[in-house]
Structure 1
Amino acid sequence: MSAPGTHPTPSDAPTGPTAVAPSASVGADPKRKPRRELLAASVGSVVEAYDWTIYGVLAPYFAEQLFPGSSPTARLIAAYLGFALGFLVRPLGSVIIGRLTDTRGRRFGLTLTVGLIAAGSLVLAIVPGHAAIGIGAPLIVVAARLVQGLSVGAENPTAAAYVTETAPDRHRYFYSAVSYGGVVLGSALSFIVLSVLLGVFGEAGVEDGAWRLAFVFGALLGLTALWIRRGAAESEVFAEDARERGGVSPWPVLRSHLRQLAVVFGIASGATTVFYFLTVDFPAYAQDAGAASKEEASGALLLGMAALLTGMLGAGRVADRIGALPVLRIGFAGLAFGSVPLLAGMVAGRVPVQLVTVVLLFLLGMPLAVSNVFVGRLFPPAVRAVAVGLPTALAISLFGGTFPALAELLRSADHGDWVPWWPAITCAAALLASWGVREHPLPANPIPE
């Protein structure tokens, strides 16, 4: 294999239908700044996760002003419908913007996605209320969320393609972990902003309009990310590949990678189901099971999120030494076979709720850490953004966006004890899917201690 700072030679590149293209890694050109490129990729993940999550967090506070309805419950349901519609367009965004990223360049895609989601936040910050413009208010809100859904559908695969092509060989999975860690930080930031608003304005003040400040903050955060990304260098791998391929259609390439597309879908399905179970539904599950109150479970999730970030960074370091597949498989195996017994122990009062969140989110951090670069390297640069984005967005829409509703349906039918089985089953499927591809070659030189 090639030494750090060089492209792998043909003899180093894997072969066969599941191998990554020889140009999947780029060396350390003295003029390039890998850390600046990592920052450019990661900052968008923070903005994406914050702007996407803050809508759901604030919906109970702005639903009264922006949505019509015969009761507060009807208005809140309408607000959540706007949240759900954003999920539906994510696959479309992964195709449209992903294709632009694969033709116009990684930097173009990075700036477009963060610009769109920031624009959506700005619209949500200034949209007049339902009392002022009637049905126009919810229509504007839904339009803004659809734009953000298109952006979010392409943001992570675009960042994944960029990190795949710019990360140093010896630290590729650590860079992958850092770039995906922005999603965790952005989600946590949304709850921090809500806590600050409630502390400063109180619940009544937030409902009266202080909620708009959270969207203003999201827009400013997006503009900052846009400035950072505009100064980032274009991927050398993309530029070289674009010169060589000319105007070749990507669809034959995608058809020749159907196995890899299925593997990405399987991996994303397992990860997103567990993520939404633990970060969205877990407080309701714990309270319904009598294991903890919603407040106690939410507090335990703070420890779990810290464990998630720790697990991701540690798993990235380990994967750079031993490969991504062992790390990914250990995480999914632990979730597939350990989550149901661990949660049963929590319900029985034998396992503290804090320990449950820490263990499960730490295990989830293992596949999340390596996924950005690992799945990116399954595809050639000509289709990388689309090929990563489409199956991932479909998995999130089908498994992540629907999980809270599925869990609530099971609880309403007195089958709340069935809820943990669905994440466990999807993780078992993800574990099986991981055997559909081979490990990428590791750098020849070990990482220094």
Structure 2
Amino acid sequence: MSFPHTPDHPAPAPAPARQSRAKTLLGTGIGNALEWYDWNVYASFAVYFSAQAFDSSDRTSAFLSTMAIFAVGFVARPFGGVVFGWIGDRVGRKHALSLAVLAASIGSLLIAVLPTYGTVGVLASFLLLLARLIQGLAHGGELPSAQTYLAEHAPREHRGFWASSIYVTGTLGLLASLVLGLALSTALTEEQMAAWGWRVPFAIGAVLGLVALWIRRSMEESEVFEASRAEDGTAGPRENVLVGLFVHWRTSLQVILMTAGLTVVFYIWSVSMASLASQNLGYSAQQAFGASVIGNVVLVLVLPLWGALSDRIGRRTCALIALVGSGICYLPMVSLVEGGQMWQLVVAISVQLGLIAGFLSHAPAMYAEMFPTARRTSGFGIPYAVAIALFGGTAPYLNTAIGDQHLFGVYAIVLILVSSLTILTLRETRGKDLSEPVGPARSAAASSEA
């Protein structure tokens, strides 16, 4: 029954406007940029502060120990995926985003004020490990929460294009760390960099984390999540996060395998190449930072193009082009880098990042389209964090420990092949309505909950 609009039955108030696209992109982007900034600052400045956190009598051993802690930080990511995945799927995406960026800021602050090995001995190494574990927990929840939040806000016909903003903002954060590294290494002497210059980027990261927290506190939850939570409120208790992981193990395994090759290529050529080039390949710090900056600018420019292309020709096609192209070019680009000229390093990084962007660009959309709303953050976030921990986090350490770029390249190519074959087993999901069930997986979830 309807009523006339009288003083006793006033007209309903208009629905409040949903969050603007600009705020959605800024809110997800700033925290995501901070995550990438944090991780690249650590990898890029490790050559300077390794002797401060460990015994400096053996600089090679100190550097390896520092890179090992870089890898250990990734071990915490799956636990972060569990914790923040639960928060994201039960409490809300925006709450997971806010808590993740707060934890990341705390980790950066701990490193910025880290006492030296010469002052407190092994306690310095322990505090560095603690800071990295905190950052690992935070970053294990940041990316899946941001990717899920953005995918659920994006128009489905342009979801791939919107998804590319995740890696655009992330790469901008990475670029900020590289530019800062280039500026500091130019303005300061080697002694100043080793003594205190390396602390500056971590202090900046801590402050930026608080700015990101302030922005995210005013963000709105996604309509897709709110509708799913309301529906689940009448359907009984939700499936346990860890139980769901094992019940839907095939999808979880697909996420791990399709990510393995992607993350190795990315972490070598985008995140750690500046440090590897200056430590092992004979490039100066300025050359290494400069080449990485140029290569990542190329990545930022091509990401939206690849994202838009995935909306037209499909996720699988773009991902396969990216992986196969990167695999074919990997060893030739390694040989080019060994030439020792800066232009060679620039070309190699640009080629590899320009190719892998074909997968990176739309990956947030592709992952989101594989899962139902009720377990989208945790279902993707936990296996993704496992893949990053097993393959991405260990890549710089393995590359340094092996010492042979070509041998490590063979390892990377094998993982690229595994990822390519895995993607061939997936169905095309371009343009999927994220509020719809996801095939057999949703049915299994419904059965489990019943």
- TM-score (ref. length: structure 1): 0.82
- Note the C-alpha offset of 1:361: 1.3
Distance 1:71 1:370, change over 3 A: same
Q: Larger deviation: 204-213 or 363-372? A: 204-213
Matches of 1:232 and 1:108 in 2, distance apart? 9
Distance 1:289 1:231, change over 3 A: closer
Residue 11 of structure 1: aligned partner: none
Matches of 1:301 and 1:195 in 2, distance apart? 10
Tell me, which stretches of 5 or more residues in structure 2 are unaligned?
Answer: 1-14, 434-450
Q: Counterpart of 2:431 in 1: which secondary structure?
A: coil
Matches of 1:293 and 1:421 in 2, distance apart? 26
Map of 1:113-152 to 2, 5 A cutoff?
113-152=100-139
Does the 8 Å CA contact 1:153/1:393 hold for their aligned counterparts? yes
Tell me, which stretches of 5 or more residues in structure 1 are unaligned?
Answer: 1-27, 445-449
Distance 1:143 1:430, change over 3 A: same
Matches of 1:145 and 1:369 in 2, distance apart? 27
Map of 1:286-305 to 2, 5 A cutoff?
299-305=290-296
Matches of 2:178 and 2:375 in 1, distance apart? 36
Q: Counterpart of 1:231 in 2: which secondary structure?
A: coil
Matches of 1:213 and 1:270 in 2, distance apart? 33
Q: Counterpart of 1:88 in 2: which secondary structure?
A: helix
Distance 1:283 1:121, change over 3 A: closer
Does the 8 Å CA contact 1:281/1:407 hold for their aligned counterparts? no
Q: Counterpart of 1:234 in 2: which secondary structure?
A: coil
Residue 327 of structure 2: aligned partner: 336
Does the 8 Å CA contact 1:288/1:416 hold for their aligned counterparts? no
Matches of 2:169 and 2:335 in 1, distance apart? 31
Match status 1:385 vs 2:374: no
Residue 400 of structure 2: aligned partner: 408
Match status 1:399 vs 2:385: no
Distance 1:185 1:159, change over 3 A: same
Match status 1:361 vs 2:350: no
Residue 276 of structure 1: aligned partner: 267
Find the partner of 1:207 among 194, 215, 225.
194
- Note the C-alpha offset of 1:255: 4.0
Matches of 1:249 and 1:171 in 2, distance apart? 31
Distance 1:119 1:405, change over 3 A: closer
Find the partner of 1:249 among 239, 246, 250.
239
Q: Deviations over 1:218-237 (max 9, x none)?
A: 01111111111111111111
Residue 422 of structure 1: aligned partner: 411
- Note the C-alpha offset of 1:296: 5.4
Matches of 1:137 and 1:366 in 2, distance apart? 41
- Note the C-alpha offset of 1:288: 7.6
Q: Larger deviation: 353-362 or 375-384? A: 353-362
Matches of 2:41 and 2:423 in 1, distance apart? 33
Distance 1:137 1:63, change over 3 A: same
Counterpart amino acid of 1:274?
V
- TM-score (ref. length: structure 2): 0.82
Map of 1:158-173 to 2, 5 A cutoff?
158-173=145-160
Matches of 1:122 and 1:201 in 2, distance apart? 22
Distance 1:137 1:252, change over 3 A: closer
Match status 1:57 vs 2:74: no
Residue 190 of structure 1: aligned partner: 177
Q: Deviations over 1:91-138 (max 9, x none)?
A: 111112211111110010000111000111112222333444444333
Q: Counterpart of 1:233 in 2: which secondary structure?
A: coil
Q: Counterpart of 2:387 in 1: which secondary structure?
A: helix
% identical equivalent positions? 32
Match status 1:306 vs 2:297: yes
Counterpart amino acid of 2:357?
G
Q: Counterpart of 2:188 in 1: which secondary structure?
A: helix
Does the 8 Å CA contact 1:289/1:417 hold for their aligned counterparts? no
RMSD (CA atoms): 3.0
Q: Larger deviation: 328-337 or 142-151? A: 328-337
Residue 308 of structure 2: aligned partner: 317
Match status 1:155 vs 2:142: yes
Residue 16 of structure 1: aligned partner: none
Matches of 1:229 and 1:428 in 2, distance apart? 38
- Note the C-alpha offset of 1:39: 1.4
Q: Larger deviation: 63-72 or 359-368? A: 63-72
Counterpart amino acid of 1:196?
A
